[in-house]
Structure 1
Amino acid sequence: MPVEVYIDGASAGDPGPSGLGIFIKDGQKTESFSLPAGSLSNHEAEFKALIEGMKLCAERNYRIVSFRTDSQIVERT
């Protein structure tokens, strides 16, 4: 069964203060992370959330991962 990772990034401005949200669901086990991201555009924050989510999965040695995002630009890239 793949691990599900839900990601989101947001900024208050373009660029502006930004933050990341990452939620990892591995069967019944879940983890959530809220991370500061410095001054980024909204698109940059969305991509940074993906990168940080990938790093967290690599640290946990997850091999099959499904990422979920509301960002069309991240989804299409």
Structure 2
Amino acid sequence: MIELFTDGASRGNPGPGGYGTILRAGAHYKELSQGFRKTTNNRMELLAVIAGLEALKKENQTVLVYSDSKYVVDAVEKGWLRSWLRIDFKGKKNADLWKRFVGIYSKHNVRFKWIRGHAGHPENERCDQLAVAAACSASLLIDRGFEAGLAGGN
């Protein structure tokens, strides 16, 4: 099983933001992060999960995602995502990222576990550090979905 720890950060909402992701499988460990010049916290929380899943080299992996984002965890675990798919994400925020998520999520066996943020969970704390550092970096990318208005307003 692969453990995927994630966090997103935004300095302002919208504002500069970033994500941090840790992939762990046995002795294998990998950290990912990236910053964006204008985005939202929810987009970075979701993008952290997407980046982790996209980094997997093989399909059909069993993945346990640890996230402090109720937005992301509840969307999947409470079935909101299925409803959004039926309406093709019309009127839903972050539709561009949710569509990207569905594409990679469907290639794996993924479960989610919500964890309380800033509560001393070592990997969550590290992901937060990665996300904040990415948001503060000098090499911020353009969140094209957000800046082009494809995000549905958030």
Per the normalisation by structure 1, the TM-score is 0.87
User: What SS does structure 1 have at the residue aligned with 2:13?
Assistant: coil
* CA 1:42–1:75: 2 relative to 1, 3 Å: same
Deviates more, 1:11-20 or 1:31-40: 31-40
Residue 3 of structure 2 corresponds to 4
Residue 71 of structure 2 corresponds to 73
2-side partners of 1:37 and 1:18: how far apart? 5
Residue 39 of structure 1 corresponds to 38
User: What SS does structure 1 have at the residue aligned with 2:55?
Assistant: helix
1-side partners of 2:37 and 2:8: how far apart? 11
Structure 2 residues without counterparts, runs of 5 or longer: 76-154
Whether the 8 Å contact between 2:10 and 2:44 is mirrored in structure 1 is: yes
User: What SS does structure 2 have at the residue aligned with 1:30?
Assistant: strand
Query: One-letter code of the match for 1:50?
Result: V
Which one has the bigger strand percentage? 1
Aligned length: 74
Structure 1 residues without counterparts, runs of 5 or longer: none
Instruction: Select the structure of larger CA radius of gyration.
Output: 2
Sequence identity, in percent? 30
Which one has the bigger helix percentage? 2
2-side partners of 1:56 and 1:37: how far apart? 19
Task: Compute the RMSD of aligned alpha carbons.
Answer: 1.2
Per the normalisation by structure 2, the TM-score is 0.46
Shift of 1:38: 3.4
1-side partners of 2:20 and 2:35: how far apart? 9
Residue 104 of structure 2 corresponds to none
User: What SS does structure 2 have at the residue aligned with 1:47?
Assistant: helix
1:61 aligns with 2:58: yes
